Amino acid sequence: MTQEDASLEARLEEQEQFEPPESFVEQANVSDPGVYEEFEENWPECWERAADLLSWDSEYDTVLEDGDAPFYEWFTGGELNASYNCLDRHVEEGAKNRAAIKWEGELGETRTYTYGDLLNEVEAFAATLRDLGVEEDDVVTLYMPMVPELPIAMLACARIGAPHSVVFAGFSADALATRMNSADSEYLVTCDGYYRRGDALDHISKTNEGLEDVDHEVSDVVVVDRLGDALDHSLSANQHDYDDLVDEHAGASVEPVSRDAEDMLFLMYTSGTTGQPKGVKHTTGGYLAYTAWTSQAVLDVKPEDTYWCSADIGWITGHSYIVYGPLALGTTTVMYEGTPDYPEKDRLWEIVEKNRVDIFYTAPTAIRAFMKWGKQYPERYDLSSLRLLGTVGEPINPRAWKWYYQHIGNEDCPVVDTWWQTETGGMMITTLPGINTMKPGSAGPPLPGIGAKVVDANGEEVDAGQAGYVMVDKPWPGMLRTLYQNDDRFITEYWQEYSDEDADEWTYFPEDGAKIDDDGYITILGRVDDVVNVSGHRLGTMEIESAVVGVEGIAEAAVVGGDHEIKGEAVYVYAIPEDGYDAGDELAERAIQGVVDSIGPIAKPEEVIFTPELPKTRSGKIMRRLLEDIASGNELGNTSTLRNPDVVDDIAEQAESN
Ligand code: PRX
């Protein structure tokens, strides 16, 4: 490091607050600090501002219908189509030749779809789906990697009013079957395979394996041919080649179906406290308005921008901020198929330079990896096109924030640390880049109109500096409406009712711990339920546990998250072997493979620690916190309340020796 670099780093290390650059503020979509008050004073009508970003087939009557809380409804009476809003209207307004999607394959091939091209392709695929028999409200499952056909299929579903349920391609065959069963989904769009670190990965075999466990008839499966000759595979009777079908329907015109604002746009399964994933339901009006508004206000997206979110569309971040938000605003959205270190650790920066990317949105885990690889990789490229940087998915440590700000943003770009969830549909807590001071490590204040607070176990707001729980005391348009076919679980998982003299108040609990400071900035501390966050990916420890105990030779298991330098958290398994089984590498390997088979490689345990007993309270509950501390190498607290305190030392010793 040169002396100049060292003094710059030392200065940044000291600095706790950063102001948005003047040049950014001057051009920001939202730069008037009065916006907070405006939303506060005019709530809920303030949300018309979000709805106004969309084109409605018929105007809504009521902004918020709260008669049946917490089953809130937004923009009721209004009708619209999401695909029309993301495509047709931009074409009608003269943007036919503007790039909508710029796709880059891992091997370096590129494809650009203008808004005109994308509309044609979406219409052809919408006509295909209709011909296959897909009707309005049928759930279509999309088990696809980062290929352009994924957003095309999403928009085609939206066009004909068929909700999609995207299953992350990295999930296992089991996970696909569970989700198709839960949604009674009879149609599937999938892919033969995709590239990872230069290798052609077989996706179709995994798909077929999953289909064997679907408990109802699957009418049709459409298979995108991504790999060509790199993978030989045959199609069974109800499987069709995507290109053949789309060629047959080329030039088709499919009128976008007018959907009620509250009609389901999509389902997205996410992990919770039980082994069963939750089917989060998002709607057409509220969700689209909310993602468009937050893309405009927080990501500062403008139609002439090239915007890149490096998430996978298989997660909510990709739905909201690769597909729906950016396309609703008519901008150019970049999609990259592969990993950031293939063929070299500079791949992302090469893509930024080549496409003159204006806005870049990624996860802290990626930033920590960039940091570890070193600044020489971004330094090879001209990143001066960047105007704004964002992060999402997990807490960002101030060091990583500053590295991002300095080495990617050249101290010229605001960084927005955006807190939100699958359930919230869009961002909830973050600075507005054209207005607020940034404090690395703290997401920021709640967005205008968002009633996020930090409360103690009694629901009372905590003092500045004290830890508590995030709670949201007002509904917002992007919120989930329910868990698919499970209204009871929706209430018990998320809502608490408080009655006062005037009214019944419902509050939403996201299950995150947090602190708040004197300026109302919220620092997220992490999940307070049995969910781990590995590289920004949300996984249920119960799901992993049931995979581990499904392995022959394992009697009992407890799964926890432990600190990890790059991933944020990693999965640790504590397992009791069955009598007659050797607690050795072979059993550990099988336990790990059991998790990979049942969920996918993202859930792969970092370590399996065998123990004759798990630490339990006198009432028989596993002391997970203690296991988390062991996994993270933390000081262990008081163990005297345990039924079996001795076991803790044994486990800690064992973990250390591994
Ligand atoms: O714990 C919070 C963490 O990710 C959880 C939501 O995960 P998921 O539904 O998969 O959505 C991820 C992408 C929106 C939250 O409960 N989380 C998300 N963003 C942040 C965060 N933790 C800290 N800071 C963030 N910016």
CATH (domain of 590):
3.30.300.30
Find how far residue 121's CA is from the centre of its chain: 26
Residue 535 domain flag: yes
Is the omega angle on the peptide bond into residue 364 within 30 degrees of 0, that is, cis? no
Could you give the CA distance from residue 591 to residue 589 in angstroms, rounded to a whole number? 5
Would you state the structure tokens that stand for residue 221, as one six-digit string?
């499966």
C-alpha 649 to ligand 1 mean position (Å)? 33
CB-based contacts of 243: which residues, under 8 Å, 6+ apart? Answer: 224, 225
Residue nearest to atom 14 of ligand 1 (CA): 421
pLDDT > 90: what percent of the chain?
87
Would you state the structure tokens that stand for residue 161, as one six-digit string?
């009013």
Residue 583 domain flag: yes
C-alpha 479 to ligand 1 mean position (Å)? 15
Backbone angles phi, psi at 609, to 5 degrees: -110, 120
C-alpha 359 to ligand 1 mean position (Å)? 20
Of 420, 511, 569, which is best to mutate to test ligand 1, by the most ligand atoms within 8 angstroms of its C-beta?
A: 420
Residue nearest to atom 6 of ligand 1 (CA): 421
Let me know: does 146 contact 335? Beta carbons within 8 Å: yes
Of 168, 538, 602, which is best to mutate to test ligand 1, by the most ligand atoms within 8 angstroms of its C-beta?
A: 538
Could you give the CA distance from residue 348 to residue 333 in angstroms, rounded to a whole number? 15
Residue 604 domain flag: yes
**Any idea which of 43-47, 208-212, 529-533, 634-638 has the lowest mean pLDDT?**
634-638
Would you state the structure tokens that stand for residue 535, as one six-digit string?
């590289």
- ipTM, 2 dp: 0.99
**CA 19 → CA 342, 414, 415, 430, 454, distances in Å?**
35, 8, 10, 14, 25
Residue 652 domain flag: yes
- Per-residue pLDDT of 218-269, as tens digits, reads 999 999 999 998 998 889 989 999 999 999 999 999 999 999 999 999 999 9
CA nearest to 363, candidates 537, 536, 153:
536
- Per-residue pLDDT of 558-593, as tens digits, reads 999 999 999 999 999 999 999 999 999 999 999 999
Could you give the CA distance from residue 25 to residue 434 in angstroms, rounded to a whole number? 5
Could you give the CA distance from residue 350 to residue 207 in angstroms, rounded to a whole number? 33
C-alpha 533 to ligand 1 mean position (Å)? 8
Report helix, strand or coil for 490: helix
In this model, does residue 350 exceed pLDDT 70?
A: yes
The residue with tokens 């102001």 is: 19
Helix boundaries (H) for 42-104? 48-51, 82-83, 89-90
Residue 651 domain flag: yes
pLDDT for residue 1: 66
Of 533, 543, 567, which is best to mutate to test ligand 1, by the most ligand atoms within 8 angstroms of its C-beta?
A: 533
Could you give the CA distance from residue 65 to residue 286 in angstroms, rounded to a whole number? 12
Let me know: does 623 contact 642? Beta carbons within 8 Å: yes
Backbone angles phi, psi at 10, to 5 degrees: -65, -40
More confident: 403 or 505: 403
C-alpha 394 to ligand 1 mean position (Å)? 5
Of 368, 392, 419, which is best to mutate to test ligand 1, by the most ligand atoms within 8 angstroms of its C-beta?
A: 419
In this model, does residue 276 exceed pLDDT 90?
A: no
Residue 609 domain flag: yes
- Per-residue pLDDT of 1-30, as tens digits, reads 677 777 777 888 889 999 999 999 999 999
| Sequence letter at residue 490 | F
Residue nearest to atom 18 of ligand 1 (CA): 393
C-alpha 527 to ligand 1 mean position (Å)? 9
Name the maximum alpha-carbon separation found in the chain: 73
Confidence of residue 408 (pLDDT cuts 50, 70, 90): very high
Residue nearest to atom 13 of ligand 1 (CA): 393
Report helix, strand or coil for 40: helix
Residue 645 domain flag: yes
Q: Mark residue 198 as left, alpha or beta (left: phi above 0; alpha: psi -120 to 50; beta: remaining).
A: left
Residue 371 domain flag: no
Could you give the CA distance from residue 560 to residue 253 in angstroms, rounded to a whole number? 51
Residue nearest to atom 5 of ligand 1 (CA): 421
Q: Which residues, judged by CB distance below 6 Å to any ligand atom, belong to the binding site of ligand 1?
A: 270, 316-317, 392-395, 417-422, 443, 510, 512, 524, 526-527, 533, 538
Let me know: does 470 contact 444? Beta carbons within 8 Å: no
**Number of domain units in the chain:** 1
pLDDT for residue 302: 98
- Per-residue pLDDT of 122-165, as tens digits, reads 999 999 999 999 999 999 999 999 999 999 999 999 999 999 99
**pTM of the model as a whole:** 0.95
Mean pLDDT of 296-313: 98
Could you give the CA distance from residue 98 to residue 114 in angstroms, rounded to a whole number? 5
Q: What is the DSSP track for 307-323? A: EEE-S-TTSHHHIIIII
Residue nearest to atom 7 of ligand 1 (CA): 421
CB-based contacts of 436: which residues, under 8 Å, 6+ apart? Answer: 20, 444, 445
CB-based contacts of 446: which residues, under 8 Å, 6+ apart? Answer: 428, 429, 452, 520, 522
Ligand 1 atom index nearest CA of 510: 16
Residue nearest to atom 21 of ligand 1 (CA): 394
- What is the domain extent for residue 571? 531-657
Output the CA torsion sign for 545, 549, 553, 555.
positive
Confidence of residue 643 (pLDDT cuts 50, 70, 90): confident
CA nearest to 148, candidates 243, 57, 271:
243
